[in-house]
Amino acid sequence: MNRSFVILLCASWMLFFSACSNDNPPADNQDSLPTDSTATVEVPERNTTLPSPLHVAAMFKSSGMKFIPGLINPTAKAASYSTSIQRAQNMGVYSADMAYCVLNKQSNDAQQDMKTIRELANQINLGKIFDNTALYDRFNNNLGSEDSLRRIIADIQFETDQQLEANQQNHLYGVIFSGAWIESMYIGAQVYKKEGNQNIVPTLLEQMNVLKSIVTELEAQQAADPAIPALITDLKALQAHFDQMPFKKQLNDKPDLEFSEIKVTKEEMDALVLKIEELRNKIVNG
Amino acid sequence: MKRFIFILIPAAVAFVALTAAAIQTSEACDAKELKAQAKKALDPFTYDSGKVTKIMYRPKTQLKEIEVPVFIGEKYRMVFNTEGLSRNVVISIYNKDKESKDRKPIYTTKQAPAAQRIHVFEPQQAKFKFYVDYEIPAADSASPECLIFMLGYK
């Protein structure tokens, strides 16, 4: 019995030291397994980053997009979103609306949007974006300063990305942004339609290049929620419409052509605007 | 009593050892702290997006690629934090994806000092997309490590 006890004790301590030792060798150490550094394996998964809703809104703002009352999604609609995908996507919609309002000094609307974003974030387990930080109070205390609000919105984006990573909810990253992107496109399209602002056309066309990245991101996460494949189908339909627009031939012939140099007919733009409206309305109407 | 000690001591040692191992594994990739370090290096650029890439070493060299959409005429800063890596992962940025034959390298950390953990790059001309490639050396690893990428704009 004593001998067994000693053996067992030794084995236990070996287990202890084995578990506690640091297995990470320094960079210059030899590998413990035979390795083959001559052949490179390309990891098939596609990874993409997506721009922040604030940055997209700022791009439209710099093309002369003015504030038109009544364009943004009413905050009262938030209560009707019942699934996590609807809530996440419309959290993105309200993020785009909030950025549009902040960049156009519409502080009352921006404040309402912020409140709604926080409510939706709570409903999809992202409440810590605001719970562990003073971001909500900072936002409300700086309504008069656009520069401060821009910094705070960028911090909210950073915290959102942190929480998605921490909660292993990475599948919502593309979903949230898809809502923000289509809302910004919708607002841009409406300003073009109502005011005839031609300067917005190159921005709308440039933004269409982001769509492929959104689809790439969503495709990588489509197994995480049964609602994501349907969303991909809708976005791909918009992409297919864009790819078949006659002006694309100009880009194919001269890839270095600036968007401001591209000639797009009113009929082409009207058809694109219609597609954007249809998809946006589908998202905000749940 | 002896039988009790015979069971209790190894069980206690095993519990402590496994707990310690679990803590070590979870601390192998403290993405939150690594991202906070990268965000400091982003200043004065505004945070746009970030990507935490989990690195698992394999017996063969791996290539992972991140697609980074950008807007024409915007000023960007890219920050990489390799503090969470135990090996030298080479970071390169290209104008086209890895399937393109005529792509051009824009930036690489191949010649960077081994001790450098924060890598900062500001591309001169942004048009549509950049492609960030991670060349992960052949090795073996027990737990995933983290490579942080962050993009800021002005």
> Cβ of B97: how many Cβ atoms within 10 Å?
14
Residue B2 lies in a domain: no
In three-state secondary structure terms, B136 is strand
Cβ distance B31 to A165 less than 8 Å, yes or no, reads yes
Q: Which residues of B are less than 8 Å from A47 in CB distance?
A: 51, 53, 64-67
The residue in chain A having the minimum alpha-carbon distance to the alpha carbon of residue B56 is: A43
Instruction: Print the SS3 string covering B91-129.
Output: EEEECCCCCCCCCCEEEECCCCCCCCCEEEECCCCCCCE
Q: Which residue has the higher pLDDT, A9 or A58?
A: A58
Assess if residue B118 is contained within a domain.
yes
Rounded-to-integer distance, Cα A163 and Cα A87, Å? 16
Interface of B with A in 29-48 (CB under 8 A): 31-32, 35, 39, 46-48
CA proximity to A106, closest of A135, A144, A132: A144
Q: What is the pLDDT of residue A26?
A: 35
Asked whether residue B4 carries a pLDDT value surpassing 80, the answer given is no
Residue of B nearest to A18 (CA): B17
CB-neighbour burial class of residue B87 (10 A; exposed 0-12, middle 13-18, buried 19+): buried
The whole model's pTM is what? 0.83
Is residue A278 predicted with pLDDT exceeding 90?
yes
Nearest residue on chain B to A24, alpha-carbon basis: B86
CB contact under 8 A, A37 and B62: no
Is B78 inside any structural domain?
Answer: yes
Question: Is residue B91 domain-resident?
Answer: yes
Contact A206 B72 (CB under 8 A): yes
Q: Dihedral (C-alpha) A55, A60, A65, A70: value to the nearest 10 degrees?
A: -70
Mean confidence (pLDDT) of chain A = 87
Number of domains in chain B: 1
- Tell me the nearest-neighbour CA distance from A57 into chain B, angstroms: 12
- β-partners of residue B148 are B52, B81
How high is the pLDDT of residue A52?
Answer: 96
Record: contact A8-B51, CB cut-off 8 A = no
**C-beta atoms of B17 and A9 within 8 A:** no
Percentage, residues of chain B above pLDDT 70: 82
Assess A286–B contact: CB distance below 8 Å, yes or no: no
Query: Minimum mean pLDDT among A32-46, A246-260, B75-89, B92-106: which range?
Result: A32-46
Q: Which residues of chain B make contact with A19, given a CB cutoff of 8 A? A: 17-18, 20-21
| pLDDT at A41 > cutoff 80 | no
Indicate whether this complex's ipTM tops 0.90. no
Q: Which residue in chain A has the smallest CA separation from B44?
A: A151
B50 to A41: CB separation less than 8 angstroms, yes or no:
no
The answer to whether the CB of A282 falls within 8 A of the CB of A93 is no
Of the candidates A40, A166, A206, the beta carbon closest to that of B62 is on A40
Are the C-beta atoms of residues A128 and A169 closer than 8 Å to each other?
A: no
B 107-136 → A contacts, CB under 8 A: 114, 128-129, 135
Q: Which residues of B touch A5 (CB under 8 A)?
A: 2, 5-6
Say which CATH number the domain at B71 has.
2.60.120.1050
Point out the residue among A41, A42, A158 whose CB comes nearest to the CB of B47. Answer: A158
How many Å lie between the alpha carbon of B62 and the closest alpha carbon of chain A?
5
Among B9, B47, B71, the residue with its CB nearest the CB of A59 is B71
Residue B111: which domain range? Answer: 31-153
Whether A31 sits inside 8 A of B140 (CB atoms) is yes
The amino acid at residue A258 is: E
Percent share of chain A, pLDDT over 90: 72
Handedness of CA B46, B48, B54, B60 (dihedral sign): negative
| CB-count burial class (<10 Å; 0-12, 13-18, 19+) for A2 | exposed
| DSSP letter (8 states) at residue A267 | H
Closest-approach residue (CA) in chain B for A59: B71
User: A263 pLDDT exceeds 50?
Assistant: yes
Q: What are A52's strand-pairing partners? A: none
Q: Inter-chain contact A23–B87, Cβ cutoff 8 Å? A: no
Task: Tell which wins on pLDDT, B73 or A179.
Answer: A179
Does B21 have pLDDT greater than 60?
no
Tell me: pLDDT of A30 over 60.
no
Q: Where are the domains of chain A?
A: 53-284
